[in-house]
Homo-oligomer: A and B are copies of this chain.
Amino acid sequence: MRDVYIVGAGQSAYGAFPDESYRSLFAGAFEEAMASAGGVEAADIDEAVVGSLGVGGRQLGLSGPAVTEHIGLHGVPCSRIENACAASGYAVRQAVQAVKSGMADVVLAGGYEVMTDMSGDVGKYWLGVSGETEWERLTGTTFAGVYAQMASAYVDAYDASPDHFSKVAVKNHANGAKNPKAHLGFECSLDDARNAPVVADPLNLYHCCPTSDGAAAVLVASEDVASACDDAVRVAGVGAASDHVGLFQRDSYTTIESSERAATAAYEMAGLGPDDVDFAEVHDCFAIAELLAYEDLGFCERGHAPELVDSGATELGGDLPVNPSGGLKSKGHPIGATGAGQVVEAFKQLTGRAGDRQVAGANVGLTHNVGGSGGAAVVHVLEGGAL
């Protein structure tokens, strides 16, 4: 297998942008990715793979070729991946396979979503699309309701309280306030987070990510290409796994098994383990998801995530900063863009471009992207300074 590198990465701002389309947002992300990639031209791109949930109207089929033609990549093969909220994490993985296969030297991977163009309360159904159909969505379970069941089970099983969810929110908002691309780029106090209105008990508004518009783009390249580039981050490991789509079909509500299996595979491929990770971007669609991620990714033992939160280790100045970008909670969650957007943050961190939120001495970063409540998961282990 040949080695594969990320040689450029960019994203649009995440937020509510009534004047933008999925195409204009992706064009912005692509422009930033190209500008960051000294040594690669648009003409070098052999193919593209993009992620989007894509039920928000507009181009219902073939939106992949529609975005690539818009950014001037006329004719290159392009397909769209849908794996709910893990769409573009899987797109990056597919790009890695395309380069490793030898069929391509430079692949554009990315994603986009426009979520804020729905009137009234239609938006809340949006995320429900990622839930199981017959026994979750059609029975009226919202997507926050699915994660609320996991949160309740976790609080019952371990020494945890909703305050731990609030502390995750405070941490991620503190990071997002340092990220000019964040959707909710403001700090919040523990009292703000504690006293927010309930969404799905025990989760309140500050325990839930926003729905966002946005796009992200990543340039994945072979070693030959990367060696001629200004910066290159090695894709040391990739892992992916699926699970029962419906929460009710799983053995445990306090772990996301697909995350654990994806991480195990990614660590094994990288020859690295959780102790080697300097920072991580994890899928905190709801605050409980970040706690589960700590455990599923091996950052602590089962049931010890609350301790890890309390210790401050996952804050920006801590031993293992998690979600330095602000995470889905503060940076935002434009579904199809999220997984690639995590890789964008990792690229910035590993090439010293993360500004005020730079993790000091970052050499190994991990990204963790979940589809639905765990029906799909994908993990990348990325290594800086490798060329």
A62 touches which of B102, B371, B378 (Cβ 8 Å): B371
Inter-subunit contact B129/A61 (CB<8 Å): yes
A133 touches which of B58, B238, B243 (Cβ 8 Å): B58
Inter-subunit contact A54/B82 (CB<8 Å): yes
Q: CB-CB < 8 A to A241: which residues of B?
A: 75-77
Min Cβ gap A163→B in Å is 32
A181-204 interface with B by 8 A CB criterion: none
Q: Is A80 an interface residue (CB 8 A)?
A: yes
In the complex where A1-B101, A79-B90, A100-B102 touch, is A68 in contact with B242 (Cβ < 8 A)? Answer: yes
Min Cβ gap A86→B in Å is 8
Q: CB-CB < 8 A to A100: which residues of B?
A: 100-103
A235-265 interface with B by 8 A CB criterion: 238, 240-245, 249, 257-258, 261-262
Inter-subunit contact B103/A84 (CB<8 Å): no
Min Cβ gap A74→B in Å is 8
A61 touches which of B76, B103, B261, B372 (Cβ 8 Å): B372
Q: CB-CB < 8 A to A137: which residues of B?
A: 60
Q: CB-CB < 8 A to A53: which residues of B?
A: 61
Q: Is A376 an interface residue (CB 8 A)?
A: yes
Q: Is A69 an interface residue (CB 8 A)?
A: yes
Inter-subunit contact B69/A242 (CB<8 Å): yes
Q: CB-CB < 8 A to A321: which residues of B?
A: none
Min Cβ gap A89→B in Å is 10
Q: CB-CB < 8 A to A384: which residues of B?
A: none
Which bucket holds chain A's interface residue count? 35 or more
A175 to B265, CA, bound (A): 47
Main secondary structure of the interface of A (DSSP, over half): mixed
A94 touches which of B76, B83, B94, B130 (Cβ 8 Å): B94
A82 touches which of B61, B98, B132, B249 (Cβ 8 Å): B61
Q: CB-CB < 8 A to A78: which residues of B?
A: 83, 242, 376
A82 to B50, CA, bound (A): 10
Indicate with 1 or 0, residue by residue over A288-303, a CB within 8 angstroms of chain B CB atoms. Answer: 0000000000000000
Inter-subunit contact B80/A82 (CB<8 Å): yes
In the complex where A69-B245, A245-B59 touch, is A79 in contact with B376 (Cβ < 8 A)? Answer: yes
Q: CB-CB < 8 A to A84: which residues of B?
A: 61-62
A69 to B77, CA, bound (A): 29
Q: CB-CB < 8 A to A262: which residues of B?
A: 77
A60 to B374, CA, bound (A): 15
Q: Is A97 an interface residue (CB 8 A)?
A: yes
A245 touches which of B65, B238, B243 (Cβ 8 Å): B65
Q: Is A153 an interface residue (CB 8 A)?
A: no
A262 to B65, CA, bound (A): 14
Inter-subunit contact B240/A133 (CB<8 Å): no
A65 to B249, CA, bound (A): 13
Given A97-B101, A100-B100, A100-B102, 5 more A-B residue pairs with CB atoms under 8 Å apart are A55-B60, A65-B242, A77-B240, A79-B82, A97-B97
**What residues of chain A have their CB less than 8 Å away from a CB belonging to chain B?**
1, 47, 53-55, 58-62, 64-66, 68-69, 74-84, 87, 90, 93-94, 96-103, 129-133, 137, 238, 240-245, 249, 257-258, 261-262, 371-372, 375-376, 378
Sampled A-B contacts (29; CB under 8 Å): A1-B101, A54-B82, A58-B133, A60-B133, A61-B84, A61-B129, A61-B131, A62-B371, A64-B83, A64-B242, A64-B376, A65-B243, A65-B371, A65-B372, A65-B376, A74-B243, A75-B243, A75-B258, A76-B241, A77-B90, A77-B241, A79-B81, A79-B82, A79-B83, A81-B82, A96-B101, A97-B98, A100-B101, A101-B101
